[in-house]
């Protein structure tokens, strides 16, 4: 295994509780029903994020309130997420991979500037070859970013392991012919992740035994 491709939100960054809290604040502001907790959030969260917003009750049709809601969520989230840390074992795992000569990249559905800002306090640069995000805030898909990245690097898909917390991470890895490990500490439930057929871990340190 030559590369590990990390997802950011929910995988390295422990922001699940933050996301639920901010989502409920957003729902209050738009007079929509609140989520009752983690299970309710896991039941609706998905990519593209526009479909998730639709399930929450926002209007994603042209001229609807999806774009204004997205901007407001991001405003609330970026402020609240300043208090978020990395998941337990994240830094330890990244350091061990670096020591073993495995190259690492973050590929995220976050907007590039926001991703760079969020990464900065954690000092991960010595372990990362790159951190790649989207050109807008609407989190439609990071598929093309992953495809373009893989086309540029000297690695076969079979030498790449994606680590993420969502079905979207699994779909990207499968489409590229890469391996995937799914982590249960993020934005989709263990039961849903297990249904996809990829290895599922509860601790990021378990990624180390799957890199071979």
pLDDT per residue as tens digits for the range 168-193: 999 999 999 999 999 999 999 999 99
Both 99 and 170 in one domain: the answer is: yes
What distance lies between CA 99 and its chain's CA centroid? 24
Whether residue 79 sits in one domain with residue 92: no
Q: Are residues 57 and 99 in the same domain?
A: no
Q: In the predicted model, what is the mean pLDDT of the chain?
A: 95
User: In this model, does residue 17 exceed pLDDT 90?
Assistant: yes
Same domain, 94 and 174: yes
Label residue 44 by pLDDT band (50, 70, 90): very high
**Can you say whether the dihedral through the CA atoms of 189, 203, 144, 79 is positive or negative?**
positive
Total domain count for the chain? 2
Residue 32 to residue 24: CA distance in whole angstroms: 9
Residue-range definition of the domain harbouring residue 131: 3-14+85-210
**CA separation for the pair 153, 143 (Å, rounded):** 16
CB-based contact 77:18 (threshold 8 Å): yes
DSSP conformation letters of 176-188: HT-EEEEETTSSS
Same domain? For 199 and 98 the reply is yes
pLDDT at 139 > cutoff 60:
no
pTM: 0.94
| Claim to verify: residue 90 and residue 178 sit in the same structural domain | yes
180: which residues sit within 8 A by CB, 6+ positions away? 161, 162, 163, 164, 169, 170, 173, 174, 198, 199
HSE value, Cβ hemisphere, 13 Å, CA-based, for 212: 4
Are residues 61 and 103 located together in one domain of the fold?
no
* Residue 194 region by backbone torsions, left for phi larger than 0, else alpha for psi between -120 and 50, else beta: alpha
Q: Give me the CATH number covering residue 162.
A: 3.40.50.1000
Q: Which of 33, 59, 83 is the last residue of a domain?
A: 83
Q: Is there a single domain that holds both residue 69 and residue 117?
A: no
Same domain, 202 and 97: yes
Are 26 and 9 found together in one domain?
no
Same domain for 50 and 123, yes or no, is no
Decide: helix, strand or coil at residue 84: coil
Judge if 125 and 144 occupy the same domain: yes
**pLDDT band with cut points at 50, 70 and 90 for residue 154:** confident
């Amino acid at each position: 295994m030559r590369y590990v491709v990390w997802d950011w939100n929910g995988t390295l960054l422990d922001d699940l509780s933050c996301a639920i809290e901010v989502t409920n604040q957003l729902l209050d502001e738009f007079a929509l029903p609140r989520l009752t907790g983690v299970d309710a959030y896991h039941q609706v969260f998905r990519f593209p994020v526009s479909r998730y917003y639709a399930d929450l009750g926002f209007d994603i049709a042209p001229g609807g309130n999806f774009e204004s809601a997205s901007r407001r969520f991001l405003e609330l989230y970026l402020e609240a997420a300043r208090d978020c840390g990395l998941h337990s074992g994240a830094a330890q795992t990244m350091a061990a991979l670096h020591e073993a000569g495995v190259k690492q990249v973050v590929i995220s559905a976050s907007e590039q500037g926001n991703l760079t800002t969020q990464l900065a306090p954690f000092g991960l640069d010595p372990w990362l070859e790159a951190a790649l995000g989207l050109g807008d805030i609407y989190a439609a898909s990071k598929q093309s970013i992953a495809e373009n990245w893989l086309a540029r690097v000297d690695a076969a898909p079979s030498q790449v392991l994606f680590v993420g917390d969502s079905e979207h991470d699994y779909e990207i890895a499968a489409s590229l012919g890469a391996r995937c490990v799914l982590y249960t500490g993020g934005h989709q439930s263990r039961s849903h992740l297990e249904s996809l057929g990829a290895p599922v871990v509860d601790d990021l340190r378990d990624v180390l035994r799957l890199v071979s």
